[in-house]
Amino acid sequence: MLLVDDVLLFPLKGLIGIFEKIHQMANTETSDEKYALEKLMELQLRFEMDEIGEEEFRKEETKLQAKLNVLRESDE
């Protein structure tokens, strides 16, 4: 009977694993200073390679800087 239970619950367990990974990634994005710094460097590189314009760069840079400030203030 356990094998049947495992087979029937496999899709549910897979979905739970996916949702846990999404939660972990969202948590990292909202609370990890290192992640925010990496995104800022990625943004700078995209700007230097002319993938984005100056206006979009400035807008995104402002958002990331504000996020970094909040994260640094919460660490203190």
* Total number of residues shown for the chain: 76
CA distances from 51 to 8, 32, 62 (A): 47, 26, 18
Reported pTM:
0.61
Any idea where the domains of the chain sit in the sequence?
1-31, 32-76
The pLDDT value given to residue 66: 92
Q: Tens-of-pLDDT digits for all 76 residues of the chain?
A: 577 777 777 888 888 889 899 888 877 777 778 888 999 999 999 999 999 999 999 999 999 999 889 888 876 6
For residue 75, what are the CA distances in angstroms to 8, 22, 25, 31, 34? 45, 24, 20, 10, 13
Q: What is the pLDDT of residue 65?
A: 93
